[in-house]
Amino acid sequence: MSERWEGYVGWLFVGTGIFLCCVLIVIWLVAKQRNRWDSIPGEQAAGTTAVTNEDLVRRFIGPNQDYYINIWKRNLSKVPRGRFVMARSWNWPAALCFFPWALYRKMWLWAFAVPVATAVVTVALPSTPTNHLWAHLFALGLTGWWANALYLHRAIGKSKKIRSASLSEAQMLTQLDKAGGVSKVGAWFGGISYTLVELLSLYVVLRAHSDKLGF
């Protein structure tokens, strides 16, 4: 009996560690929102400066915009036509906690599609701790490697669509702020939900293989 409880206590520490990591990542994401959006040229003096595509994308991204703009520019410098393609770069928050990160960046469809796809693959595999671990590591690698490209495609596409709508500058700003930026509510909801689901999954796997694991 004591060995059984020692096993539960050990996994309780593991679950607590996962929870604390998710909380720290969510706090870091929310803290990023304190950086205010840069005003686009012409916002303070209407009509004095032309608004560029980069200005609109920056406005759409909001917090931490330099990080994404640098990825965009590095990609454009490698493509002769100056057209953005799938630039791959690593994103740790997206890799470790894609669901809260995607909700924070208002990528609503991707936020739910990726976890569902991961769950389907996990269920399709033989139910062993090793297979569950490999499924999660595979999802971690994909999201960490492709998240920035997916987000930039969305930011650029939305910005172009808003610009092509022949709106006034004030209307463009309103639409960009509404469609882009970040969601603190999404980050907190995603972080708490993600942690609970991971702990529940861990509990289910441990219960299913309690005999083999010795508790």
Residue showing tokens 């998710």: 22
Domain carrying residue 201: 2-39+48-213
Over residues 110-132, the mean pLDDT reads 81
Binned at pLDDT 50, 70 and 90, residue 182 comes out as: very high
Tens of pLDDT, residues 36-81: 333 343 343 334 346 788 889 999 999 999 999 998 888 777 765 5
Amino acid at 194: Y
Do residues 22 and 191 touch, judged by C-beta distance below 8 A? yes
> Domain count of the chain?
1
Task: Say what the pTM is.
Answer: 0.71
